[in-house]
Amino acid sequence: METLNKQAEQAAQRVDVDAVGFDIFTITMILTQVLPMLAACFNREDSPTAAESKATLQRYYDTQPEKLRKRTARRIRAEAELPMSKAASFALAVAVIAQALSADDETVAACCSEAGIEL
């Protein structure tokens, strides 16, 4: 879980904790759940390798960024144990998407593997 936790921590650092109303630890825990799903493009059957998954995510972001943000924000709200505003979930979505897009193929594969998602 080392790679996944590190990536979630880096994504959490992209978030203004005062604006979302959660501490950095809570944000990191939520993003730890969402990052592998995002890296695997929500459906591990779509892209069997880390490189293909990342390319699919990039294509999705390039062609439908608002849809990707909304879908990710909904997933974040579903993973959060505490009530979360849409604005807060969107802030976390922007951060976790940026982190997933900046990760290299090896990191994507490690995060998914650590989360039990086989690519």
User: How confident is the model over 13-46, as pLDDT tens digits?
Assistant: 999 999 899 999 999 989 888 887 776 665 556 5
pLDDT of residue 109: 81
pLDDT of residue 41: 62
pTM score of the predicted model = 0.84
pLDDT of residue 61: 94
pLDDT of residue 66: 97
pLDDT of residue 113: 80
Segments of the chain scoring below 70 in pLDDT: 39-48, 118-119
pLDDT of residue 52: 83
**Closest listed residue to residue 105, CA positions, set 71, 72, 67, 58:** 58
Domain positions in the chain are 2-114
pLDDT of residue 35: 82
Instruction: Give dist(CA 91, CA 69) in Å, integer.
Output: 9
- Core vs surface per residue 19-44: b (16+ CB within 10 A) or e: ebebeeebbbbbbbbbbbbbbbbbeb
